Amino acid sequence: MSSGANTIPQLEITPLVDLLDESVARFGPRPATEFFGKRLSYSELGRIVARAARGFQLMGVKRGTRVGLCLPNTPYSVICYFAILKAGGIVVNFNPLYVEREIARQIEDSGTTIMVTVDVAKIYPKIEACLGNTCLERIVVCPLWTLFPFAKGLFLKLFKSSQFCSVAEDDRHTSFASLTRDRSAPEPVEIDPEKDIAVLQYTGGTTGEPKGAMLTHMNMAANVAQIRLYMHDVTPGRERALLLLPTFHVFALTTGLNYCIAIGAEIILLPRFEPHEVLKLLDKKRPTLFPGVPAIYAALNAKVHIGNYNLSSIRYCFCGGAPLPVEVRQRFEQLSGCKLLEGYGLTEASPVVSANPIDSEPRKSSVGQPFVGTTVEIRSLENPHFLVPTGEKGEVCVRGPQVMAGYWNRPDETAACFIDGALRTGDIGYLDSDNFLYLVDRLKDIILCGGFNVYPRMIEEALYQHPAVAEAAVIGVPDKLRGQVPIAFVILRPDVTASERELLHFLGDHLSRMEIPKTIFIRATLPKTAVGKIDRKVLVEEERERRAAKSSRPEVSE
């Protein structure tokens, strides 16, 4: 089954930095970014990006040079991202939470020679350790405290000095002030949007090992153009977005940065998620756009005093990264009056593939219809060269201008990720007769239980229907009788109680016997990734260690 590409107007594909240049010309005096009360207008942002681009060029950055960004959400992440692109370079996004070994591996794999980071004790030393041990040649260091209003910046510098670290003064280090010192215009760079890579975005992909998805200027600019057509009710130059998803993740990069810059929105940057701080910002700053992941909305819903905050300014929340439980969507929409729009995508598609209708109620359990210019195909699990009929489950495959050029320096894995020219997502799903896409689970997450396919997502959705369940995750574990069985982990809502026995009894009316978890663990927290998704891999490892420890205990004789 294939959705067929939607009929669309021609998407305008330009170099990605044009998104900023056009908004600078159109919305110059308007605020572009705000960080703890300190603002940059679009004109100011355009000027400092141009100076940083010139600084990168003087440093040797040219067309195709890989420059790393290892930054939390700050104005530096916006400035340096567009400056690298304007200089002709390729942005390589690094997760600041990575350990030194992971950072070093990505530096070597990508060929990153310059890294931009902050003088924060938890981040900078990991980058510095890679100098001389990898192909990294220079670090651009951005002082974090200077971004804050004067009084707060001075306080941080004087009384929280342990959070910062001293930086060597040598030819392998460049300060942000030095980077932006030259006021001459950067040399213009000819960019071919269809061929030139804008971002190397590292991902586990469909085969596990981290690899760089080559996202061209066309891929990313097309996805922004698709979102603009989809979000037809926003007003350019009038919107304000709260961006707390980290921009080193492609969902935030596209929906929170590129798209918001393209429509001239003011971007309120927040470096980390603290529910009470977010509620206060939503109440005080009155954003109209609030992209996020389900865990963020679920955490806000769970706050007892959420009703004390005015969330009515929010018009649209674009949600992705994980399945959005119906109860989470309905609760947050009720509290805020906004439209919480669930989309589907993956890093290799820049990332958005589909979204629920903006003008009508979403279909239950659907992730919406494919974006304009996008074709979704459902291919047979037994023979992926064949499409399956409407309503039948198979592997979700995608075609469209947002689909990556391939994996960096990995031709074999690139070939394996495509089938007859379509991107293999590794997700199992189906299309209905109206081209709405429904996801069942990940191919790699299927639990083979007694010869039957059991899907963790289906069990999680059933758990979310219990009024006491705030968050849920399901994994498969080895079982001598059935091969594998599901087990579940849940967090309960505040001031609500439920026992494992009660939850198992509840599931008996919603699932088949084969799908009922063998055990349900009630926990205070669940491990999360940097963007707030429940990390099943950590749960699998924790459970493996727990079982190994249990089996190694000596039996106690009476």
What domains appear along the chain, each with residue ranges and CATH number? 17-25+38-192 (3.40.50.980), 365-443 (2.30.38.10), 446-550 (3.30.300.30)
pTM for the predicted model, two decimal places? 0.84
DSSP secondary structure string for all residues of 138-194: EEEEE-SGGGS-HHHHHHHHHH-GGGB-----STTEEEHHHHT---SPPPP----TT
pLDDT tier at 298 (50, 70, 90 boundaries)? confident
Q: What is the mean pLDDT of residues 59-83?
A: 97
**pLDDT the model gives residue 557:** 45
d(CA 59, CA 54): 9
pLDDT category, 153, cuts 50, 70, 90?
A: low
Tell me which of 306 and 207 has the higher pLDDT: 306
Residue 152 has pLDDT above 70, yes or no: no
For tokens 């706050």, name the residue.
303
Bridge partner residues of 40 (DSSP): 33
Cα separation of 197 and 216, whole Å?
A: 4
Strand, coil or helix: what is 320? coil
- Average pLDDT of the chain, as a whole number: 91
- Token pair 């206060």 is at which residue? 280
With 0-12 CB in 10 A as exposed, 13-18 as middle and 19+ as buried, what is 170?
exposed
The pLDDT value recorded for residue 390 is 97
> What value does the mean pLDDT take over residues 373-389?
96
pLDDT tier, 150 (very low <50, low <70, confident <90, very high otherwise): low
Cis status of the peptide bond prior to 517, with omega within 30 of 0: no
State mean pLDDT over 201-226. 85
In the predicted model, is pLDDT for residue 154 greater than 70? no
